[in-house]
Amino acid sequence: MSIQWFPGHMHLTRKAIAERVKNIDVVIELLDARLPGSSGNPLLAELTGHKPTLKVLNKQDVADPERTALWLAWYSARPGTQALALDASDSAPARKLIQGCRALAPQRVGMSRPMRVLIVGVPNVGKSTLINTLSKKREAKTGDEAGITKQEQRIVLEDDFYLWDTPGMLWPKIIVPESGYHLAASGAMGRNAYDEELVALELLRRLQAAYAPLLEARYRLGLEPAALAALPDHELLDAIGRKRGAVMSGGRVNVQKAAELVLTDFRSAALGRITLETPQEFEAWLAAGQAQEAERKARKLELERQRKGARRGPPRG
């Protein structure tokens, strides 16, 4: 199943970013530290060109610290890129962001050459909360629904440091299926874009492979990590539903409610510190997705060529 979500206002955001980036010195891309690759928008790379980029892994306090370190090193190895991690408890996020941006564009200093920064990210990545912290007042609306911010706004962090915030934006087509599931699990998509049961099952498969002890600690199913990891995902979801009281009349498990419980526990970090992907896993998924997309485009071009040939008819003798 392919999960897609690109509401109308995101088309306007795309145009706004393309226009704003012409006069921008550094781009800050806010990522979800639990899914750093999947929450990185490839469309933003196209829109921002070769602008220096600061990758900020937000919500590091609910992510796996070992995997966060891997992602920071992976992003920092890219040319023109620096990476740092933040969370809601950070007492001085503005200082970290300012330092990171000035390191990427040291020539931009003083009122005659002020630093102009654009901050971007997928919906529900925590950007509005960060903006409120940076501005020390409620500049941006916040909430747990994807797509709350719908207008561009400017925040002055220092006399010569201007930060433009934009609405969260996904991309028109998600070519990595794993990314679609991870984004849905994190709450980056509107609820009508996906089936919660399927997303919960995919999430459980990821957690069984890497975080079986955390699943047992949360749900107390009485299983050793190896046994829990080997359990079919639908049986695991059923067991969680029974354990948490998601049972209907007749003793049947309310699978929808059980799925909602699992997704809520992941989003609220009740399951513990989790990162759903490593750089190596994401690179493999992306390569496979790009290859499939290239094949699809090639087939489409061939079909179009055949149709044009059929319309022209057989060559004249």
Write down all domains in the chain, each with its CATH number in brackets.
9-165 (3.40.50.300), 195-267 (1.10.1580.10)
pLDDT band for position 141 (50/70/90)? Answer: very low
**Secondary structure string (H, E, C) spanning 202-234:** HHHHHHHHHCHHHHHHHHCCCCCHHHHHHCCHH
The set of residues, in sequence order, having a beta carbon less than 8 Å from that of 198 and lying 6+ positions away, is 1, 181
Q: Running DSSP on this structure, what letter comes out for residue 247?
A: B
pLDDT at 138 over 60: no
| C-alpha to C-alpha distance for 263 and 177, rounded to whole angstroms | 18
pLDDT at 19 over 90: no
Any idea which of 146-155, 214-223, 245-254, 274-283 has the lowest mean pLDDT?
146-155
Q: Which two tokens stand for residue 24?
A: 């921008």
Q: Are 197 and 255 in contact (CB under 8 A)?
A: yes
Task: Calculate mean pLDDT across residues 78-101.
Answer: 90
| C-alpha to C-alpha distance for 102 and 21, rounded to whole angstroms | 17
Task: Calculate mean pLDDT across residues 87-92.
Answer: 81
Q: Structure pTM?
A: 0.85
- Considering only residues 222 and 154, tell me which one the structure prediction assigns the higher pLDDT: 222
pLDDT at 44 over 90: no
pLDDT digits (tens, 9 = 90+) for 182-212: 999 999 888 888 999 999 999 999 999 999 9
Q: Which two tokens stand for residue 64?
A: 């796996």
Which pLDDT value is given to residue 15? 75
pLDDT digits (tens, 9 = 90+) for 220-267: 999 999 999 999 999 999 999 999 999 998 899 999 999 999 999 999
Count of beta carbons in the 10 Å neighbourhood of residue 236? 26
Give one word for 28, left, alpha or beta, with left for phi > 0 and alpha for psi -120 to 50. Answer: beta
Which pLDDT value is given to residue 104? 95
- Per DSSP, the chain holds a count of helices (H) and strands (E) of 12, 6
- Considering only residues 91 and 273, tell me which one the structure prediction assigns the higher pLDDT: 273
pLDDT digits (tens, 9 = 90+) for 24-33: 999 999 999 9
Cα–Cα nearest to 108, from 95, 120, 98 = 98
